[in-house]
Amino acid sequence: MTVAERADTIAAALDGEPGCRIVETPVTVLASGQPLVITTHVVRGARPGHTVGIVSGLHGDEISTAELVLSLLPLLPPADVTGSLLLVPMASPLTFETGTRSTTLDMANLNRVFPGATSGTVTEMLAHTLLEDVLAPCDVIIDLHSEPDSMGIRCLYTPAPTDEQGRQSFALAQASGCPILYVTNGLSGMLMTEAGGRGMAVVMPETGGPLPGKDGLLPEAQGEILNMLRSLGTIPGDPEPAHQVVVDAVSHLRAPAGGLFRPVVGFDVVGRSVAGGELLGTIASVFSGETLAEIRAPFAESWLMMARGRLARVHPGDPLYIVGREQGRPA
């Protein structure tokens, strides 16, 4: 393992000679005296071009995308890169520490507090630093998410191609080759929403989770990001074409009762469709084995974006599946 070169600021790393440098951007100092920093790998390419931010870990319980970002670094030698890349494997160190979606210090969800504030809570400070001191030079942002626990996901959220920012973002989504594209404006406080409002092209791949097999979805997720980088001219080559469906209505199927969740449709169907009414899974009483609820596909053709693919304890309201309906199709 080689010791990585370092730079003091993102600007200094971008101004330097072609190369890969690590930058630790300070956010604040915690009660324990430990500094809270955002660690970024800056790949400065050999020729001018786009500045692309690849961010993972807004939710620290989604660890497969951190592995994905780290796995991309050896695939992006500076000599092959046009423009620059800013790669953040774990944007929210505090939630990685606790394995939680929200920061336990202030109970805030980082991906709901953008643009953040210097005078806010620790999560709001983190959002502000990420946007203003790390990602501000970017014209393209790829915001990676996945799932914790027993869930696996494969789809990509993109703005609609209704204005220039939306068209650039949607073109990236198409280039990715991800099988299911979800057209959405996002929610207030999301990085996707805030960055999009600033004119950055932005997509939000949801790829990974504890899917079966040695590598889970890692090769597919790598391929989707490399396809997007090829379409931008950041790396050489053309994106590999793939069949895609665009969904514009999504149903989040949650547990109507607590108990033992038994999947019928599992990880192997994520990214594909099932017929309306098909049984996806059941919830049983852990004491009697009695079936308490059946979970069924809601749309005539239901595209499976996320599945809880393993036997799991579920609380009422816990997510089980996300399914989409293709644009223009009847309910």
Where do contacts with Zn ion occur on this chain (CB under 5 A)?
A: 59, 145
CB atoms within 10 A of CB 231: 17
Q: Which is nearer to Zn ion, 84 or 111 (CB)?
A: 111
3-state secondary structure (DSSP) of residue 221: helix
| Residue closest to Zn ion, measured at CB | 145
Min CB(251)–Zn ion separation in Å: 19
Min CB(124)–Zn ion separation in Å: 18
Min CB(321)–Zn ion separation in Å: 17
- Residues 6+ positions from 143 with CB-CB distance below 8 Å: 55, 58, 191, 192, 195, 202, 203, 204, 205
Of 181, 174, 182, nearest in space to 239 by CA: 174
Q: In three state form, how does the secondary structure of 101-147 look?
A: CCECCCCECHHHCCCCCCCCCHHHHHHHHHHHHHCCCCCEEEEEECC
Min CB(99)–Zn ion separation in Å: 13
Min CB(216)–Zn ion separation in Å: 16
CA dihedral 133→136→138→140, nearest 10 degrees, is 120
Q: Which is nearer to Zn ion, 20 or 155 (CB)?
A: 155
Q: Which is nearer to Zn ion, 21 or 59 (CB)?
A: 59
Min CB(59)–Zn ion separation in Å: 4
Q: Which is nearer to Zn ion, 45 or 186 (CB)?
A: 186
- Unique residue bearing structure tokens 């309201």: 317
Where does residue 42 fall: left (phi above 0), alpha (psi -120 to 50 degrees), or beta otherwise?
A: beta
Q: What does 267-293 look like in DSSP terms, one character per residue?
A: GGGTTSEEETT-EEEEEE-TTT--EEE
3-state secondary structure (DSSP) of residue 77: coil
